[in-house]
Amino acid sequence: MKTIIPVCCILLMLFSCSGKRRMSHADMMKDAPQWVQQPPTHPAYYHGVGMATKTTHQDYRERARQNALSDLAAGISVNISSQSVLNQFEFDNVHSEFFRDNIRVSTQQFLEGYEIAGSWENDVQYWVYYRLSRSVFEQIKQERVNRALSQALSRLQEADELTQRGRKSDALGFSVKALEDIRDFMGEELLVERGGTKRPFAALFATDLTDKLRDIEIVFSEEIARVKPGRDQLHSIDVTLRDSSGRTLSGMPVTVRYSWLPGQVIEVNTDASGRFTLYLQGIKPGRRSEQVSCRVNFQSIVRNNTSELSVQRLLGAYSASEFILPVEIVPPVFSVDIESQSLGSGSYTAKVRDEFTRLLNTNGIEVRRDIRGQQIDYRMHVMLEKTGVSQSGNRFTADIKKDIVVTDSDGKTAYRHIGSQTTGLGSSHDAAVEDALKSMEAQIRITIFHEMMNEIF
């Protein structure tokens, strides 16, 4: 396939060839200063050189300036001290690189004391050169470090005062803000004076935060919650948050997890008296024990007090202690009453009773006879009625209707299954009834029982 060159392009090329020879790169750069041709390396300075191509649509001088400042910031070494906040929190290489990049960005945002050391341009390019005295940079940085540390220490002091007033949530918020104050210097060895000696701020902060979190205690109104499953069985537990001095802690966010509801997290806040109430619902029979776990939601406090991603990542490793409430499951008690009409032999009803009893026992439910003095939580009444028998040759057909009603201890209906019919086939009347009962047992096992359990529990 041949390439077709437009006539206008051919004319333009002919015109160019007949005109002045196009300027080479070497010709463009022949008058460039040394700092353009080779990056400066004076040991007393940090250097930044930036270039932008001249256009009619953009401010090339500003773009060159920004490129030079970026180059200047990139040349400032980013070393993470062994006594820094980052090392105190023991981050891996991936996280450390994230924070190095964050520090480089912060360095560019807060560059001070630099000076323009030169600019140069030709027909198509504009160059600018900035330099920053290393000693001036260190002096300015130390002043900023001192201001940040002073602000952070003031926050920690305020956090201690709030702790003494029982305002633990606010105190933890001030601790978060203290770390935010020094976010631009997390890789530095930050030293503060305590008791006449210099201590790393990182160790001081970590110890202070750990102590505040460990000082929180979650107390349940019962040592063991004994819960009997049931639709209307509502078991409530009062929960109190307090510190080691017995002060109750208001406004504390808490996460609650129920072992019988995996994947679900309930978030609550303590009221003005440092309390909240748990409602133990949704427990199914079949297991002997469950548990409730509660923990102060420190990450919620972090998110509410800083939007700085670097601070959130660092504090993501911190959590408050978990407190466990054991839950003992008390089996609910059923009675099973089977009544029949027109079925004759009592063995038929006994089979249905045995099937219900087996299913209830398998699912952690106790079955007792309904006699005076017995505690019965749910009464099941099953009415079986033979509604028709027919014969066709040597084959008999029997239809049995079943009504199932379960009432609670207050006499309220908890489950109702009325009027369904089962058909059986056999070579005799009894065989047809027997077949209908077997089909009924299968229906109870596969459908009705699970429907009843879901509705009651």
Domain extents in the chain:
216-297+321-329, 333-456
Tens-place pLDDT, residues 78-97: 666 667 777 766 555 556 66
pLDDT at 242: 96
Q: May I ask the CATH architecture of the domain 333-456?
A: 3-Layer(aba) Sandwich (3.40)
Q: What is the pLDDT along the chain (457 residues), one digit of tens a residue?
A: 444 444 334 333 433 444 444 567 677 788 899 999 999 999 999 999 999 998 766 789 999 999 999 899 888 866 666 677 777 665 555 566 666 666 666 666 678 889 999 999 998 899 999 999 999 988 988 898 999 999 999 999 999 999 999 899 999 999 999 999 998 888 788 988 877 888 889 889 999 999 999 999 999 999 999 999 987 778 999 999 999 999 999 999 999 999 999 999 999 999 999 999 999 988 999 889 999 999 999 999 999 999 998 899 889 989 999 999 999 999 999 999 999 877 766 677 888 999 999 999 999 999 999 988 889 999 999 999 998 889 999 999 999 999 999 999 999 999 999 989 999 999 998 899 999 999 999 999 999 999 999 999 9
- Please report the DSSP string for 245-294 in residue order: T--B-TT-EEEEEETTSTT--EEEE--TTSEEEEEE--PPTT-SEEEEEE
- Please report the DSSP string for 356-402 in residue order: HHHHHHHTT-EE----TT---SEEEEEEEEEEEEEEETTEEEEEEEE
| Same fold: 216-297+321-329 with 333-456 | no
pLDDT at 193: 85
DSSP 24: P
CA 221, 223, 224, 226 torsion-angle sign:
negative
Integer CA distances (angstroms), 121 to 127, 185, 357, in order = 6, 37, 96
Domain 216-297+321-329 superfamily per CATH = Immunoglobulins (2.60.40.10)
pLDDT at 103: 64
pLDDT at 22: 56
Cα separation of 42 and 54, whole Å? 29
Tens-place pLDDT, residues 254-278: 999 999 999 999 999 999 999 999 9
